[in-house]
Amino acid sequence: MRKTKIICTLGPASDSEEKIREILLAGANIFRLNMSHAKHEWVRDVVKRVRGVAAELDINCGILLDTQGPAIRTGDLPVKLNLKPGQIFEFTVRGSRSEEEHSVDVNYDGLVNDIHVGDTVLVDNGVIHMKVLAKDANRVRCEVLTEGLLGSKRHINLPGVKVNLPPLTEKDHADIALGVSLDVDFVALSFCREAADILELKRVLLEHGSRARTVAKIEDQNAVRFIKDIIVASDAVMIARGDLGVECKMEELPIIQRRIIKKCLEIGRPVIVATHMLESMIENPIPTRAEITDVANAVFEQADAVMLSGETATGKYPVECVKVLDRVARRIALSGGAGYASSAILETQRQKTVHAAVTLANSLENAKLILFTREGRMADEASHLRPERAPIFAFTPSEEVMRRLTLNWNTHAICLPFGVNPEHNVVDAEQELHRRGLIVSGDKLIILSDVMFAEERFDSIQIRTVL
């Protein structure tokens, strides 16, 4: 069974019932809704479609709502501007007009206050570089450093500049309310800069009565600076290498990725590696060998999930992309992992009990970890310890918890009603695994369960051999 999970972005190339079915059968675990482009009516329709197909196929599938976040973007242009090095370009705010031949309005009024003379401005995912020469109350005057064609609503990056945007915009609040009404399983916070940002998202979700898990997207230097606090505050972390690769030196990006994965496995948070995984497959039916190696590195470092963006949203080969990730993830997992989980911090008695069960499973051939969880926390702890061979089967009476566990590495969640007697739950779980063909005679079941003694319950570790 594949350990690394696959997240696919839905879009025009993949949002039909037929494509959703094909992508799920190819191995997708979670569908991402990119709210930078998605309309609310489309979101309502596609969530219903995903849930219907997943139920029909009996596949556990999560849904991740990805907020647009406080992005700084250029305004509309009547025609694209062909910029050349040495030209003067002005960014204006508050509807101010520029006398320069090349200028554009910006959606963030605080740009002038946050930026300084000498700072670098990167436009359109870092394609166009500019240097700040001067500024006044409503304008920032720049020199163009690299050639590029500038269109409307292009993203602006300000490496090393601390911007004073709120963590959630009005649009984000409206999108989150929609996601909560549709019971999405994960909500990602774009451009998370510090722990307070993710805590604000948690507060908003709590106000709406949602138990969706929060995902902090790491996209700029400020987030890297406060990465430990962000990981502690969040439920999961996404290494969003698109903007992060623009904000940071390119040679630093692999080191940052490795640092974040290590810290997530130490603290115990799911981690997603995203962006440009199979970028060439947007147009081509096979990936480059460099892309295969990139995916393999993320799998070897034991990230919980890898994510496809444009590859499945607008690309020509969405199903083939998922199949490629599935093949690579399965093969690389057989060669072992980086072993970062050996540094996992164990503080509670429950964490140490789970560690003992994982150690036992590592010592046995054909072992399976079976656990019972109402909230998903025990499943989180087992996954974070990265069992060497044993898959984790997490039984829960909650469909919501089952879907939230779709992100966890090597975890296969199954919804099962719990009875009063723990032994009956174990028997029911074993029968369900038999029915699904997930265990065979001779398998060793390492069971994490509570047991009754007198009128009290205690955590226990049991070993059973499948007959």
Active-site residue list? 32, 73, 217, 275
Contact 261, 339 (CB under 8 A): no
Hey, CA dihedral for 105, 201, 403, 384, is it positive or negative? positive
SS3 176: helix
Task: Give residue 272's Cα distance to chain centre.
Answer: 4
Quote the CA–CA distance of 409 and 429 in Å, as a whole number. Answer: 20
Measured between alpha carbons, how far is residue 103 from residues 32, 97, 118 in Å?
A: 35, 9, 19
Q: Look up tokens 């051939």; give the residue.
A: 365
Quote the CA–CA distance of 125 and 31 in Å, as a whole number. Answer: 24
Per-residue burial over 398-412, b = 16 or more CB atoms within 10 Å of its CB, e = otherwise: bebbbbbbbbbbbbb
Contact 318, 277 (CB under 8 A): no
Contact 88, 102 (CB under 8 A): yes
Quote the CA–CA distance of 307 and 314 in Å, as a whole number. Answer: 14
SS3 17: helix
Contact 88, 171 (CB under 8 A): no
Measured between alpha carbons, how far is residue 441 from residues 180, 365, 412 in Å?
A: 43, 13, 20
Contact 105, 95 (CB under 8 A): yes
Quote the CA–CA distance of 294 and 237 in Å, as a whole number. Answer: 19
Angle between helices 318-333 and 17-26 in degrees, nearest 10: 10
